[in-house]
Structure 1
Amino acid sequence: MKPATGKLIIAIILDLVDFTIGRIPGFEIVVDGALGIAAVALWGWPGLIAFWEIADPTGQIDAFVPTMTLIALSQMRKNKSPRTE
């Protein structure tokens, strides 16, 4: 398995955690912070985008946006070698 594919699988799992456990009132900030740290660990500076989820004080809206998966897909596309025709 390619490293990028492994990171995508991890991102999907973390987004599912955010969708389930991350919606518990009072616990959502902790989950969003941990996911932001995980995103930075996985992708470096582009992972900082994941911290936008802390801006939602209810923790309900951001759970429906698969931020980690979107970052993973954008990094996979960015790192894809250019096509030659």
Structure 2
Amino acid sequence: MAGRALADLRRELHALGMTTEERDVFLTRSGDPMLSLAPGLIVWAGSEWFRWIGERNRWRYHTTGDPAGAARLVRRVYERL
């Protein structure tokens, strides 16, 4: 499930002009996928939530049911790096 969520997020990021490659995808010890977009910007995909560190170094969460919304939020952080 988390793998599918990450694939959906990558598709939505691509639609926004942010391409990702397979080499950007890693697995946590528990097997959850994560996407490394830039130094300091890693998105974890769980079964229900995407999470990343956003503005003011605070955790941000967004439901995996809305990958387009998550992609827009992640893109904002990416553009500020």
- TM-score clears 0.5: no
Relative contact order, CA 8 A, sep 6+: which one is greater?
A: 1
Structure with the bigger percentage of strand? 2
Q: Which has the larger radius of gyration?
A: 1
Bigger proportion of residues as helix: 1
TM-score interval for Structure 1 and Structure 2 normalised by the shorter chain: 0.3 to 0.5
